[in-house]
Homo-oligomer: A and B are copies of this chain.
Amino acid sequence: VVLHFADRLVAACRAKGNSLCVGLDPRWAMLPQEVRRRHAGQGLEGLAAACEEFCLRVLELVAPLVPAVKVQMACFEAGGPAGLAAMQHVLRAARQQGLITILDGKKNDIASTAQSYAEAVFGGTLLEGARWPVWEADALTVNPYLGADALEPFITQARSCGGGVFLLVRTSNPGSRQFQDLCCGGRPLYLHVAEAAAGWARQHLGRCGLGDVGAVVGVTQAAELAVVRQQFPELWLLLPGYGAQGGGAAAAAAGFRPDGLGALVNSSRGIIAGFAPEETQWEECIRAATRQTLAELLQQTPMRRLAAAS
């Protein structure tokens, strides 16, 4: 029996009493000097090893506190094949610690190629009749521009493994309005995309009433976030942009359903880069930033209902 992604995510949130997602976006310049020192002068292999060491330590710090992590593929791709091997190790360690893993790859391509990406993320590459695991994440971010036939391989493959897909709907960057807000047939493009996501979600709802296709809506986009939440109650929303990008708890509140479900709030730099490189107590800084972010969210959003239930 394959458990439904939405139910797995709800269970993880209830178990931790919150729906904070920690973003793993390791970059050389922000890593603690202590970590960098051990891997300096070794080029991309050193970058890969430093990112892996740092992220494994972050996982140990945050796994007792939060339900999920989002792994930024670009930061590992910066290290080439060695960096992507480090990403495999980080994803595996997160899974072993019971975290829900979201691979932030913003993938997109025509159907036959989307199938390759999807197999690599979810069930594994099919080779001589057997599946070979590649990234093994629980969920993937996907760019919707190509349309339904190019998105369905991601959804079908995720669904077959109890995985999920988060479609980019309204992204957290300042320029997201350029195309995403263009008004077509009386409503902005991003609502057309959200409608499509909700259609797929309704095809296959979990017991919790949420689907395994969700939407990425920047917490920096407060008004649009409220609209998506109100119109599409069946969507899990992944909310990037908390903290370093300017989104706050008051804005995040609009992403939740009244029952406290449906919003996974992601903070990356605000948690893993909130200290100077020379800080020796960086692990304590990460733990404190996580606790501080949780306190803000539990105080100012319906997320507190998860804590009450746990």
Contact = CB atoms under 8 A, between A and B. Distances in A.
Interface string A133-158: 01100000001111111100000000
A189 B47 CA distance: 40
Contacts of A33: none
Interface stretch (A92-100, A106-114, A256-264, A293-301): A106-114
Contacts of A46: 127
Copies of this protein in the assembly total 2
A150 B173 contact: yes
Interface in A59-85: 72, 74-75, 77-82, 84-85
B116 A173 contact: no
Nearest to A106: B108
B82 A171 contact: no
Interface in A218-276: 245
Contacts of A117: 74, 77
A81 B77 CA distance: 10
Contact of A143 (B72, B128, B135, B145): B145
A16 interface: no
A281 interface: no
Given A81-B82, A146-B176, A148-B178, 17 more contacts: A27-B116, A43-B132, A80-B125, A81-B81, A104-B109, A106-B108, A110-B245, A111-B173, A143-B143, A143-B145, A145-B145, A145-B168, A145-B179, A146-B173, A147-B171, A150-B173, A182-B185
22 contacts: A25-B113, A41-B128, A47-B125, A74-B113, A74-B114, A77-B134, A79-B134, A81-B81, A84-B84, A108-B108, A110-B245, A143-B145, A145-B180, A146-B168, A147-B171, A147-B173, A147-B176, A147-B179, A182-B184, A182-B189, A182-B192, A183-B184
